[in-house]
Amino acid sequence: MKSMLLKMSLISAWLCSGVFAGTVITATEVKNAVEEFVVSQIETDLPANASVVVDVRWQNDIELDADIDPVIRVRKSSSRKLRGPSVVRVGIDLDGETLRKMSVTADVRIHMPVLVAAHALKRGEHVEPTFFEIMESDVTKLRGAYYIGHNHLENMRLGRSLGAGDVLTDQHIERIPIVKRGELIRIVARGGIFEATIDGTAMQDGGKGDLIRVKNVDSGKVVRGHVIDSGLIEVGL
């Protein structure tokens, strides 16, 4: 009986000595490693006033048969930019050997202080500075360029309606036309020291600086030119 108790005591001491001790990598450690990697990959491409929000979708602890700390290695799974839901590869390495491989999804969001509609705005309204306010917003999936100030909004109108809180982009606005489709205009053709002026017809609306199609009244030829003033279009030779 004493011999059996002694053997059990020795086995118990052996088990507690660390021979079978394992290492647990917590879900928080995995999330932190992925977040640090994502931020390091994209922070150099962002404006100074941008912030990154990373939501790592991983919930499980990882148990390993090892009594020393392993290394968590993270890399991209493709050449695609880390924007929105993105999959990265995570490897658990120990002494140069990869013990575990996982695919982890990180939802990457870019936030910026940008112009948003202060209230609902209708298509065709002439832009006023009071229409917009600066607010921290998610710009990750925006199509078109957003605005961080009221510069470049003079002589513009809304080409699309906006709801209160919507981010303003260059796809929502257009120049107020000073040339209307079907209007008789003058076409100025310039090339070097040569200059000629002919009659034409505007084929589309255009604001100052816009490139529009115009038709030569005499030849019927359609060309593209820049609106330089009301009723005046400049084309190159």
More confident: 173 or 66: 173
Confidence of residue 43 (pLDDT cuts 50, 70, 90): confident
For residue 216, what are the CA distances in angstroms to 179, 187, 197? Answer: 16, 8, 10
pLDDT per position as a tens digit, 121-157 = 999 999 999 999 999 999 998 988 999 998 889 889 9
Q: Answer yes or no: are the C-beta atoms of 174 and 144 closer than 8 Å.
A: no
- The phi, psi pair for 26, rounded to 5°, reads -75, 160
Confidence of residue 21 (pLDDT cuts 50, 70, 90): low
Nearest to 115 by CA among 154, 161, 151, 143: 151
> Which residue shows structure tokens 């996982």?
102
Angle at 161 between CA 157 and CA 166, to 5 degrees: 105
Distance (Å, whole) CA 108 – CA 143: 17
- The phi, psi pair for 232, rounded to 5°, reads -130, 125
DSSP-derived 3-state class of residue 42:
helix
Mean pLDDT computed over every residue of the chain? 87
pLDDT per position as a tens digit, 169-209 = 999 999 899 999 999 999 998 877 788 899 999 999 998 88
Q: Answer yes or no: are the C-beta atoms of 200 and 215 closer than 8 Å.
A: yes
Strands 71-76 and 84-94: antiparallel
> Which residue shows structure tokens 């961080």?
148
